[in-house]
Copies of this chain bind each other. A is one copy, B any other.
Amino acid sequence: MTQLGPQAEATRRRILDAAIGLLAEQSFDVVSLRAIARQAKVDPSLVVHYFGSKEGLFRAIVEAQLRPAEVLAPLASVPVDELGERLVRTVDALWSSPEGRGMLAVVRRMLSSGTDVLPDAVTEQVLGRVLPLVPGDNEAERWLRLSLVASQMSGMLLTRHVLGLEPLASLTSDELADAMGPTFQRYLTGDVGGAS
């Protein structure tokens, strides 16, 4: 992303916030760029100027709310045998933050719509960034490990943060790391079967 001036950055942020608000309430298919512009009190042409399309806008929301690059960067310097525990702590903290909670409503709404934007955005932006951190002899093995990580991570998100399933929802960060850290560690560096 090119650097924007403070006023342009504020406008861009206002459009993002308007889009997050609308996408938490209505299906992705129904929300129009025009409606987002109206909500943000900007001209629709500005939405196109900053984000190109609704898909581009959604990717920008993922980027702004989940900040995958920023959040995951410190993991690059973590010893490989601590990666599982550090990963669960990092991601859990993110979903517990105000930005993460704002994103949950959007994710819930996306899950129910028929569009492929959610998996594409997740694959491209989140998984694609993590892939270089994943140990493995080849690309196929890295993707297997990563998709297993994604399965436990999305399930943690769903049960702990969306559904509030107890006692999982009330575990401290340390308890969660004790319980799930070894799962992530094995998916990242252990034997995950014949397919790897």
Footprint of B on A, CB under 8 Å? 108-109, 111-113, 118-119, 122-123, 140, 143-144, 147-148, 150-156, 158-160, 162-168, 171, 174-175, 177-180, 182-183, 186-187, 192-195
User: Copy number in this complex?
Assistant: 2
Contacts of A187 in B (CB 8 A): 179
Determine if A193 and B175 form an interchain contact, defined as CB atoms under 8 angstroms apart: yes
Known A-B contacts A111-B112, A159-B154; the reply to A167 vs B179 at CB < 8 A is no
Give, as a whole number of angstroms, the nearest-CB distance from A136 to chain B. 12
- Select the residue from A109, A177, A179, A180 with max chain B CB neighbours within 10 A: A179
Determine if B147 and A167 form an interchain contact, defined as CB atoms under 8 angstroms apart: yes
Determine if B154 and A167 form an interchain contact, defined as CB atoms under 8 angstroms apart: no
